Amino acid sequence: MLVREIIEKWLYQSEILPITNPNWTKFHLCLFTKDKSSEQDYKDVKKTIRKYVPKGTSGVYIIAKDDKILYIGESDKNIHTRLRRHIDKIYIRTDSRSDFFKLEGHQGNLTIYYWSLPPELIGKRKVIEDLLTNVLEPEYKKWDLINKMNDLENTLIEINEGNHYKEDIHSANTSVSTIELEDNDFYDEFDKDDMLDRLGQHTPVSRKYWEKYVELNISYETDGTLTVNLGADDPYDLESDKALEFATNVANRKGYSSFYKVEDDIRLYGQNCLTERMFIFKK
Tens of pLDDT, residue by residue, the chain (283 residues): 689 999 999 999 999 999 999 999 999 999 999 999 999 999 999 999 999 999 889 999 999 999 899 999 999 888 988 898 899 889 988 777 788 999 999 999 999 999 999 999 999 999 999 999 999 999 999 998 998 898 898 889 888 877 654 444 444 443 333 333 333 333 333 343 444 443 444 444 554 444 578 888 899 988 899 999 998 877 878 888 889 999 999 999 999 999 999 988 788 766 567 788 999 999 9
Question: What's the pLDDT at 178?
Answer: 35
CA distances from 118 to 76, 125, 131, 149 (A): 11, 10, 18, 38
Question: What's the pLDDT at 225?
Answer: 93
- Is cis: bond before 118, omega within 30 of 0? no
Listed in sequence order, the residues at least 6 apart from 245 whose beta carbon sits closer than 8 Å to its beta carbon are none
Question: What's the pLDDT at 271?
Answer: 55
Contact (CB, 8 A) for 253 and 243: no
Question: What's the pLDDT at 1?
Answer: 64
In DSSP terms, 182 is beta-bridged to: none
Question: 90: buried, middle or exposed (CB in 10 Å: 19+, 13-18, 0-12)?
Answer: buried
Neighbour tally for 132: CB within 10 Å: 23
Task: Please tell us whether the domain made up of 3-140 is placed in CATH 3.40.640.10.
Answer: no
Listed in sequence order, the residues at least 6 apart from 131 whose beta carbon sits closer than 8 Å to its beta carbon are 7, 10, 11, 16
Nearest to 62 by CA among 14, 115, 122: 115
Question: What's the pLDDT at 211?
Answer: 59
